[in-house]
Chains A and B, each alone.
Chain A
Amino acid sequence: MTPRQRVVAYVRAHRVRYAVGAVLTIAYSIAFQLVPLAARTVVNEIEAGSRVTESVLALCGAAGLFALLSFSSRNVLFSAAREIEYEIRGELFAHLQRMPQSYFAGQRTGDLMSRAVNDVNNVRMFLGMGLLNVVQTPVLYVLAIAVMLHVDWRLTLWVLSPYPLFIGIARFFGKRMHNSTLEAQEQLGALSSTAQENAAGVFVVRSNTMEDRERERFGADAKALYGKQLHLAVISNGMMTTIQALPALAQVAVLIVGTTGVIGGRISVGDVFLFVSYTLQLTFPTFMVGWVINIVQRGLASLQRLGEVYDVVPSIRDRADVLPLTSLGGSVAVRELRFAFPGREEHPALDGVSFSVAPGQTIGIVGEVGSGKSTLVSAIPRLLEIPDGSVRIDGSDVNRIPLGLLRSSCAVVPQDSFLFSTTIEENIRFGCPEAPRSAVREAARRAHVLDDIEEFPDGFETVVGERGITLSGGQRQRIALARALALQPAILILDDSLSSVDAATEEGILKELRAARAGRTCFIVAHRLSAVRDADQILVLDQGRIAERGTHDELVAHAGIYARIHRQQQLEAEIEGDAA
């Protein structure tokens, strides 16, 4: 869809509101003419010395109608724009939630945020203020000119004569204004980069006593920004005052031509008053034209940027050939699994991995950084797009298992143990919102984090994250583990998720997991071999392939990669132990 088509689609979806808005706007434009017309009649009557009461009442009526229409047209159109903003934002949010992990790997959060915040805002401005004025201003002008022409065409031409200057002014200032704004923005960007560098490199700055030089550097940026801002102020105020002078010029014309006309007996004093009123009332709409053009352009550009997000079709969703499953067990078969991240096709992250796991087994996965451990376990809950048939759970291809079922039977404790800014209880309950407090407690106990939680003044109600308390890495990991355990999954995946937990606690957790296994399949990705020592099967990955496999004892005896890592970790442990 092009941006224009999107606008049409939005307006069509809200056609009733917009139709009402359009009718109100046109009625408003008509009422706009009534007020000066009524005032003109009153002035004529005063000059003639006749009764004015009826005309004044008419003027009051016109004013009332005008106010009512101005109120309702604004209210209807602006509210419609807010309604659309609400919908776009919701749509965008839902759309993002359907995107695969590989999409987020290629996006910066800041950029997505900027689309969801700034671009949605620009679209809203366009669909509200922008459309209102696009419809209103021409109607307003046409009607006003018609009325003026009807009263006196010669004076009308004179009154309108300064307005072509507007085009010249727009030409002269428009481009300069644009460039000047851009330059100021760029300089602000440069200044921000300098500040960023200074803060990020603060250690180097301090250790080399560069503070004074940094001050100079930043000072030069700040001064340049000052210059650009001042230049912008001169241009924009120049434009503003020049545009404001236009109605004054029109009034000079009214003054000279109109007065001559009255003296010549061609028109009445009230007519002159009408023209004076018009020149004043049309000032603001004229003033808005440039601004509206800007809003429309920005709105269209933003629609395009939003379109870029919408146009990505979410690939991970229930397919047409989804299997009618209602529960899943814990047997996993991986056959010739191959996966490459987009743009890195020549270096596949997984290159022909095959293994199978019986329900209730524990699989350890070890290997160097970048050997494909996390990628392998991400393929099981279908976080990645993988070829059909390469991963099967209970004999069913994961690509055909209903996503909801797959994800609720297969719990992952991710590496970064991301927690949301809410209470600990809500975090543990994240995957099963209906779980009772007792289940939350039990999950916390089994993840060996219950004691920690109970030591917090607010217990399970403690808020964590940005606006809450700061947890230690180990506490975060254990809460993330509790979150996964609360799901009571058939398959549990620990993706290096006990790295910040001390050895003794790790031991306790692993023992707990073994005891409460009850047919649950468990994948443990780990750097520390102690975590996988008791696994039924250990896979050693190297550059996307399984280099070694077997039990701990078998692998130690084999004298390969695993044995080497084992020797090194033993040494480290000895040193720690010695010193303690």
Chain B
Amino acid sequence: MTPGFHDEEVMGKVVDAQLMRRLVPYFEGHWYLVVLSFVLIVPRMALESLPDTVMGYAFNRLTGTDTVPGFQSLRALLEPPAGIEWVWWVGGIYFAIAVLTSAVELARSVAMAAMGQRAMLALRSALFDHVQRLPLRFFDRYPVGRLVTRLGNDIESASEMFSNGLVALIADLLVMTFLAVLLFRANWRLALCAMAVVPVMAAAAIVFRWKVREAFRTVRVKIARINAHLQETITGMRVVQLFAREKRNLAEFMQTNGEHRDAWFTSIWYESLLTSTIGLAGNLTTAFILWYGAHLVGLKVLTLGDLVFFMGYMRKFYRPLQDLSAKYSVMQSSMASLERVFQLLDIPEEPAEVASASPQRVRGEIVFENVTFAYESQPILKNLSFRVAPGQRVALVGHTGAGKTTVLKLLARMYEPQQGSIRIDGVDVRDIPRSVLRRHIAFVLQDVFLFTGDLAYNVSLGRADISQAEVESAMRTAHLEEFVSRLPLGYRQPVHERGGNFSVGERQLLSFARALAQKPEILLLDEATSSVDTQTEALIQDALHALLRNKTSMVVAHRLSTIEDVDRILVLHHGELRESGTHQELLGQRGLYWRLYQLQYAIQERAA
């Protein structure tokens, strides 16, 4: 499934106080940006209030008075110095204010963006860090695509809150309050008249907003359904066509599609109503101010400049209301994204380790004692016990699902058994920190995972303590020298996503080189079953011998040659140890191993 389409049905609150509180720690170390973003609102407020004062002053001069609307104290500043026309002086001041406003706005918006992006960087890193600590079981169930969406798009969407949402909203509210205070200071009667429309407006806005919100909720649910239906149809197209279901399926789709459209019609209706009502309110306020103002001008209580000043302020007062709806939906989707991010952060990490042992070297004695393990409810290993002496080479054989690879995974503590204990050199693995334990163990899996990066990186896996010389020597031992010499960039040859540019055999050998370079004392190998040409097969067999030298190793074996060579064979059946011994001993027993061996022969004969 493509993640994200269904998630849309989760409707976020516009402001979720709890989520906001959880965000606080991510501003740590960057409080100066937060302070700056808010402190810069003050000069913005001041600068917002000035142009209309200056404009009003100009109109006053034109009509024969020289009062300054709003701020009498600015009078001295606006009085031109000797030798300069007042027109040019006032124009110059107006220009200076405009430039300053732009500068402050730029600084403030950049500070705001920096604050948001900083916090998101911290959140994103924390989320990734968290994911690194989640138990492996988590990944069995959580789709990779969804995880990527959380780390990528969801955090991007959450960051919108800072650039377009909450902080901008707070700034708008502060500016509106400030303007209202100034209006009342200038002339409370006129201010009262001008503001008379505001409660009516606010009521209308709330009602329409509520309607839009309802419609919008329907829209979100419907579009999520449309996308889910579309996706399901595309993936299940074979079935749709086979059962001649096209007509009915289309009818169902058009039903939802139509409901989605109708919800939009409602939304558009109220949205248009809201926008034009707010515009109307602004214009009516202007008319009202002009009408009542004309009366006051006639009484000589007010000047024309005061009116111009009032109208300018009112326009500014209404402006934030216009794009409220845009900010609203930004906030809503940011909050929903943030909620999803925190949900992932709330999944418990692997418990902290109370490890006491951290061996520098291990000899490689492995003991499983009464180990029982289940991924889900079905037990995979049942009361399993065995011992591997240091330096021994052991093969695990058995049917698919017998629990062979699980044994390897438990040893490296990729999963923890429900019962029993696993010991290396007599120390319970649970007492060894995972990171220390895994340094002594190398895993070679059937499916070789390659990282983007170059060949050398895929061998050293970025470990700083593995030198270039060691990488090269490991690759030589794994018979990759000739292969590398044919590549234009040699060891620096880039590996594309998931190693698509290498053959199966080359990937096998690379995984051997990787294990060799890590210099483990214990090697766990899940032999590949995929067939390669005989020449590559010979190279792989030879490299395998080199890899197994001087190590304790446990191999999930599929190749007869590997099985015959080992010191001991453990035969697993449905999670229990059925037989154990050397190849010859087990063949002599004529038991399960003997049959398996015959089966192997049958398959290999066929493949040949």
Give residues in A with beta carbon < 8 Å to B: 35, 39, 42-43, 45-47, 49, 52-53, 56, 59-60, 62-64, 66-68, 70-72, 74-75, 78-79, 82-83, 85-86, 89-90, 93-94, 96-99, 101, 104, 109-110, 112-113, 116-117, 188, 191-193, 195-211, 213-215, 217-219, 222-223, 225-226, 229-230, 233-234, 237-238, 240-242, 244-245, 248-249, 251-252, 255-256, 259-260, 262-263, 269, 272-273, 276, 280, 381, 383, 403-404, 407-408, 411-412, 414, 418, 420-421, 430-431, 433, 465-467, 483, 487, 564, 567-568, 571-572, 574-576, 578-579
Question: Which residues of chain B have C-beta atoms less than 8 A from A276's C-beta?
Answer: 55, 308
The answer to whether A199 and B105 have CB atoms under 8 Å apart is no
B144 within 8 A of A: yes
Given contacts A251-B51, A430-B239, contact A90 B253 (CB under 8 A): yes
Given contacts A46-B294, A256-B88, contact A71 B242 (CB under 8 A): no
The answer to whether A42 and B290 have CB atoms under 8 Å apart is yes
B334 within 8 A of A: no
Closest chain-B Cβ to A530's Cβ sits at a distance in Å of 17
The answer to whether B58 and A259 have CB atoms under 8 Å apart is yes
B184 within 8 A of A: no
14 A-B pairs whose Cβ atoms sit less than 8 Å apart in the complex: A74-B275, A75-B272, A90-B254, A97-B233, A113-B231, A197-B498, A207-B438, A207-B441, A249-B98, A251-B94, A255-B58, A272-B59, A431-B243, A431-B244
Return the contact of B235 from the options A109, A273, A408 (Cβ within 8 A): A109
Return the contact of A241 from the options B63, B102, B233, B265 (Cβ within 8 A): B102
Return the contact of B245 from the options A59, A269, A430 (Cβ within 8 A): A430
B173 within 8 A of A: no
One of B121-129, B175-183, B185-193, B477-485 at the interface: B121-129
B280 within 8 A of A: yes
Closest chain-A Cβ to B168's Cβ sits at a distance in Å of 12
Main secondary structure of the interface of B (DSSP, over half): helix
The answer to whether B261 and A86 have CB atoms under 8 Å apart is yes
Return the contact of B136 from the options A39, A66, A202, A381 (Cβ within 8 A): A202
The answer to whether B244 and A60 have CB atoms under 8 Å apart is no
Question: Which residues of chain A have C-beta atoms less than 8 A from B145's C-beta?
Answer: 196
**Which of chain A's residues has its CB closest to B464's CB?**
A213
One of B362-370, B417-425, B592-600 at the interface: B592-600
Question: Which residues of chain A have C-beta atoms less than 8 A from B260's C-beta?
Answer: 86
B324 within 8 A of A: no
**Which of chain A's residues has its CB closest to B261's CB?**
A86
One of B75-83, B110-118, B380-388, B562-570 at the interface: B110-118
Which range holds the interface residue count of chain B? 35 or more
The answer to whether B598 and A571 have CB atoms under 8 Å apart is yes
Please indicate which of the listed interface residues A93, A98, A251, A466 has the most CB atoms of chain B within 10 Å of its own CB. A93
Return the contact of A82 from the options B118, B133, B268, B443 (Cβ within 8 A): B268
Return the contact of B114 from the options A188, A230, A248, A430 (Cβ within 8 A): A230
Closest chain-A Cβ to B429's Cβ sits at a distance in Å of 14
One of B20-28, B281-289, B502-510 at the interface: B281-289
Complex: A64 Cα to B595 Cα, angstroms: 93
**Extra 14 A-B pairs, beta carbons < 8 Å, given A52-B294, A191-B151, A241-B103:** A64-B280, A86-B257, A96-B234, A96-B237, A109-B235, A204-B445, A215-B132, A218-B125, A230-B113, A240-B109, A241-B109, A251-B94, A259-B58, A421-B228
The answer to whether B414 and A467 have CB atoms under 8 Å apart is no
**Which of chain B's residues has its CB closest to A207's CB?**
B443
The answer to whether A188 and B599 have CB atoms under 8 Å apart is no
**Which of chain B's residues has its CB closest to A83's CB?**
B261
The answer to whether A414 and B250 have CB atoms under 8 Å apart is no
Please indicate which of the listed interface residues B132, B273, B287, B574 has the most CB atoms of chain A within 10 Å of its own CB. B287
Closest chain-A Cβ to B223's Cβ sits at a distance in Å of 8
**Which of chain A's residues has its CB closest to B118's CB?**
A226
The answer to whether B226 and A575 have CB atoms under 8 Å apart is no
Closest chain-B Cβ to A221's Cβ sits at a distance in Å of 9
Complex: A109 Cα to B128 Cα, angstroms: 28
Question: Which residues of chain A have C-beta atoms less than 8 A from B603's C-beta?
Answer: 568
Complex: A74 Cα to B325 Cα, angstroms: 15
B449 within 8 A of A: yes
**Which of chain A's residues has its CB closest to B113's CB?**
A233
Return the contact of A59 from the options B136, B151, B287 (Cβ within 8 A): B287
The answer to whether B88 and A418 have CB atoms under 8 Å apart is no
Question: Which residues of chain A have C-beta atoms less than 8 A from B152's C-beta?
Answer: 188, 191-192, 195
The answer to whether B121 and A226 have CB atoms under 8 Å apart is yes
Closest chain-A Cβ to B270's Cβ sits at a distance in Å of 10
Given contacts A202-B139, A269-B304, contact A82 B233 (CB under 8 A): no
Closest chain-A Cβ to B542's Cβ sits at a distance in Å of 24
Complex: A244 Cα to B48 Cα, angstroms: 13
B241 within 8 A of A: yes
Complex: A191 Cα to B133 Cα, angstroms: 19
Return the contact of B51 from the options A210, A248, A578 (Cβ within 8 A): A248
Question: Which residues of chain A have C-beta atoms less than 8 A from B574's C-beta?
Answer: 579
B534 within 8 A of A: no
Question: Which residues of chain A have C-beta atoms less than 8 A from B244's C-beta?
Answer: 403-404, 407-408, 431
Return the contact of A71 from the options B228, B272, B399, B498 (Cβ within 8 A): B272
The answer to whether B250 and A90 have CB atoms under 8 Å apart is yes
Question: Which residues of chain A have C-beta atoms less than 8 A from B269's C-beta?
Answer: 75
Given contacts A237-B110, A262-B62, contact A45 B294 (CB under 8 A): yes
Complex: A572 Cα to B603 Cα, angstroms: 11
Question: Which residues of chain A have C-beta atoms less than 8 A from B132's C-beta?
Answer: 198, 205, 211, 214-215
Question: Which residues of chain A have C-beta atoms less than 8 A from B291's C-beta?
Answer: 42, 52-53, 56
B232 within 8 A of A: yes
Question: Which residues of chain B have C-beta atoms less than 8 A from A467's C-beta?
Answer: 6
Given contacts A93-B253, A263-B62, A383-B238, contact A195 B497 (CB under 8 A): no
Question: Which residues of chain A have C-beta atoms less than 8 A from B58's C-beta?
Answer: 255, 259
Return the contact of B62 from the options A209, A252, A269 (Cβ within 8 A): A269
The answer to whether A218 and B449 have CB atoms under 8 Å apart is no
Please indicate which of the listed interface residues B147, B271, B286 has the most CB atoms of chain A within 10 Å of its own CB. B286
